[in-house]
Structures are given as C-alpha cells and as structure tokens.
C-alpha cells in the first residue's frame, strides 16, 4: 500500500482537470492505496516573497494552508498534480504552491513517484509540454523522485466538458496501476 496525495489545482467549478484528479484518486483507492485528495479551491496560499528564511528554519514565514499540504506531500509515496493549462502552462495556483513549498528543499521526503494530469481547450500534442517542463523543474530538486506519468486531455474548455471522455477512464487506470 502506498500513501498517495492528489492535488487538484483548478479553482473553477466543474473543472475538467479536477474530474481527472478524482478518477486518478478513485483508481488508487480501488487498488488499496491510502489516498488524500487536496483541492486548492478555498485554500489560502500566499505568494512566496523570496526571503529564503524557510531554508534556515524549515518553515515559511506565512501562516496559511501551505504547511499542511506540504507535510502531506513530504509524507506521501506518490504525488499527483492536476492542472488546467492556461496559456500553455500550469495554473498560477499550482506554480504558487510549488514556489511556497520551497521549505521542503532541505527536508527529507518520502515521495518517489510523481504524476501529472492536464486539460486544455487546445488539443495539439505540444500544448501540455511547458506545464510538464515546469513540474520537471520542481522534481529535479528532489533527486530521488521522477515523473512516472503524464496524462493530457485536450479539447475540453467548458466546465464539465470532459464528462464521458475516455481520458477519465485512463486517469482511473493510471491511479489503479500505481
């Protein structure tokens, strides 16, 4: 059994990437894994100001929802990020959370497997590449981990447009096959 954290970074009701994240989580649960599902909707996540005090203290100067999320990430075996693609990049909320988790850098961490789920209105193969590249920058700071899978669903722009799409089943299977 693995400890899995799934982080849905979309703030939009009816989010297509959130629907993929839910299916990934259901698949992981069906396989017997312990799953924590975190939605950034309603979370307070302040911007990193680059003071770097977290590098000395192991904690950020800001008191918001990030420390609890960060602790879950540190203690997970698997981290799954889900994001809509905006202007060919990860959501701002995802990037802000990644920046704020800078306090993780000097700490020991458990995760080895990282997954990425992305959705976009555009459907071309190049669309999710920058989001994946941005996440790879974060993964590179945690040398014992690696991106194990990336599932992209293009052609879904409107809320709930992903309903009935085969990518939902693929997300489920990805979670189930951890």
Give the pLDDT of residue 105.
Answer: 86
pLDDT band at 100 (very low <50, low <70, confident <90, very high): very high
Local structure of 21: helix, strand or coil: helix
pLDDT, mean of residues 63-90: 97
**Residue 55 class from Cβ within 10 Å (0-12 exposed, 13-18 middle, 19+ buried)?**
exposed
Report the predicted TM-score, pTM, of the whole model to 2 decimal places: 0.96
Is 29's pLDDT higher than 90? yes
User: What CATH number was assigned to the domain covering residues 3-176?
Assistant: 3.40.50.360
d(CA 77, CA 60): 23
Looking at the chain, the whole-number percentage of residues with pLDDT higher than 90 is: 96
**CB burial string 19-49: b at 16+ within 10 A, e below:** bbbbbbbbbbeeeebebebbbbeebebeebe
pLDDT, mean of residues 9-36: 98
Cα end-to-end span (Å), the chain: 10
Give the pLDDT of residue 52.
Answer: 93
Q: Map out the domains of the chain as residue ranges.
A: 3-176
Is 121's pLDDT higher than 90? yes
Give the pLDDT of residue 164.
Answer: 97
């Amino acid at each position: 059994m693995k400890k899995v954290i799934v982080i849905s970074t979309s703030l939009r009701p009816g989010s297509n990437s959130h629907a993929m994240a839910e299916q990934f989580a259901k698949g992981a649960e069906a396989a017997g894994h312990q799953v924590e599902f975190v939605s950034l909707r309603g979370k307070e996540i302040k911007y990193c100001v680059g003071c770097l005090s977290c590098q000395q203290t192991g904690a950020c100067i800001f008191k918001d929802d990030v420390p609890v999320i960060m602790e879950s990430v540190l203690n997970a075996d698997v981290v799954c990020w889900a994001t809509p693609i905006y202007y060919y990049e990860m959501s701002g909320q995802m990037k802000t959370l990644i920046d704020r988790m800078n306090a993780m850098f000097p700490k020991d961490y458990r995760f080895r497997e990282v997954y990425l789920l992305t959705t976009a209105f555009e459907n071309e193969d190049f669309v999710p590449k920058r989001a994946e590249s941005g996440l790879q920058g974060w993964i590179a700071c945690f040398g014992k981990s690696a991106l194990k899978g990336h599932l992209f669903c293009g052609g879904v722009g409107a809320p709930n447009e992903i309903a009935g799409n085969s990518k939902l089943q693929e997300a489920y299977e990805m979670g189930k096959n951890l």
